[in-house]
Chains A and B, each alone.
Chain A
Amino acid sequence: MPKTILFIEDESALQKTFGEILKQEGYEMIPALDGEIGLRLAKDKKPDLILLDLILPKVHGFEVFKKLKEDKDTRDIPVIVLTNLEGLGDVDKAIELGATAYLVKAQYSLEEVVEKIKKALENR
């Protein structure tokens, strides 16, 4: 069984790019285009990792994060935040909520992000 990654991100271009590269790495990616769908899929599919954008339609990324941590079914799934927000407040908040990593999109190459994902899944 391949490990599953839930990608909560409203940019379909990114869904496509990551879908391709993660498939090649032997993972199964589940796309979610807004916070609401993301929360539902997290509970239903229980992925091995969640990749979370912060600026999301319907439910904001931080709200999604909080709800994930409140629910005992999803509490233990590691979350990597992948966003373009880089305010100190945002970083602190994500760390406080227990983010495995906080990646600012503008600062990482595709391969570097994949490396971080692999590393986070190694310990599972």
Chain B
Amino acid sequence: MKQSFIEELNIFAQCKRYGLPLWQCPHFLFLVMGVIIIGSTLVVYFVGTHYIEDPQIVLLITLLVTAILFILAVMITRSFERLAEANRMKSEFVSVVSHQLRSPLSNLRWAIELLMSGRTNSVTEKQLEYFKILKENSARMSELVSDLLIVSRIETAKLPFKEQEFALEDLIKELIKEFESFAKASNVEVKFEPAKDLPKVFSDPSQIRLVIENLLDNAIRYVGESGQVLIKLEKQDKNFYFEIKDTGVGIPKEDQKYIFQKFFRSENVMRYQTQGSGLGLYITKAIVGRSGGKIGFQSQEGVGSTFWFTLPIK
């Protein structure tokens, strides 16, 4: 959604894009302000050089222009407020919609599970195949909906954050266990090398779980035919340092600066073989930021990626 410089200069098109009338559109108001400033500077120069014996006139004009500029500035601020409000309402809307979608989705999923269990009637091999497709896709929808809910909570600053002391090491071990069958099916060996005598971390375990889940899922998913994932955990000064290194397909260089953007999915070799909402890394970065940590990565196409994040030790 990048715009060329020329397009950005087309104020009318810009205002139309936001759905705002001209007098409520910041772009147009800025232009008017600019014209007034240049015009009034010229007038003051003209008046100042011609009526040098009447400084009151110059003062009067300056006061008048200042008043006009003040009113314009208020209008600009208002128009920004309107844009911010529209953005907030959009997040609110996403939140309500995703919440409403959850009930029919769980009804659907559980009904499919009941059919698949063979409890109601016997299921043929062929039927089971299609039930699986139904189940997988309803699971995909559920995941997308919960990702959208998290994003809307992040954007409206309503993401619950309940901090407590816990062992990051144990959480990682637990998650590796949960991903065991997925890793096996993807021919991936997951190794974990924590440093010795690590202190406990003070953060929200359910949020940090989301972070590591996303990173581990990506590392396994984008590994290609087979490969290794190595997780390291150590203490660096006043921070925890978590690193996850894979031997996967890597991220193309031109995509690297967009990787944490909402809905972005890299055009790498596996884009069409894997499913994803493009929200995982956006959520991950937001949570790490909220916890007072930093996140980053190095990646080379065909060699692999290394993602890392830090968490402050309190």
Contact = CB atoms under 8 A, between A and B. Distances in A.
A91 to B, nearest CB: 10
Interface in A45-64: none
A17 B107 contact: yes
A21 B105 CA distance: 18
Contact of B99 (A11, A17, A20, A84): A84
Contact of A111 (B102, B106, B113, B146): B113
B162 A88 contact: yes
Contacts of B120: 20
Contacts of A87: 160
26 contacts: A11-B107, A14-B106, A14-B107, A17-B107, A17-B111, A17-B114, A20-B114, A20-B119, A21-B114, A21-B117, A21-B119, A24-B119, A84-B102, A84-B103, A84-B106, A88-B160, A88-B162, A105-B102, A106-B102, A106-B105, A106-B106, A106-B145, A109-B110, A109-B113, A110-B110, A110-B113
A24 B103 CA distance: 24
Given A84-B103, A88-B160, A14 B110 contact: yes
Nearest to A25: B119
Interface string B55-88: 0000000000000000000000000000000000
Interface of B: 99, 102-103, 105-107, 109-111, 113-114, 117, 119-120, 142, 145-146, 160, 162
Interface in A84-124: 84, 87-88, 105-106, 109-111
A13 B113 contact: no
Most A CB within 10 A of own CB, among B103, B107, B160: B103
A21 B129 CA distance: 22
Nearest to A84: B102
Contacts of A14: 106-107, 110
Given A17-B111, A105-B106, A111 B117 contact: yes
Contacts of B107: 11, 13-14, 17
Main secondary structure of the interface of B (DSSP, over half): helix
Given A20-B114, A110-B113, A105 B103 contact: yes
Given A21-B114, A110-B110, A110-B114, A11 B160 contact: no
Contacts of B142: 106
Contacts of A84: 99, 102-103, 106
A17 B119 contact: no
A88 B205 CA distance: 13
Q: Which 6 A-B pairs have the closest CB atoms?
A: A105-B106, A13-B107, A110-B113, A84-B102, A110-B110, A88-B160
Contacts of B106: 14, 84, 105-106
Nearest to A107: B146
Contacts of A13: 107, 111
Contacts of B103: 11, 84, 105
A17 B110 CA distance: 7
Contacts of A106: 102, 105-106, 142, 145-146
A68 to B, nearest CB: 23
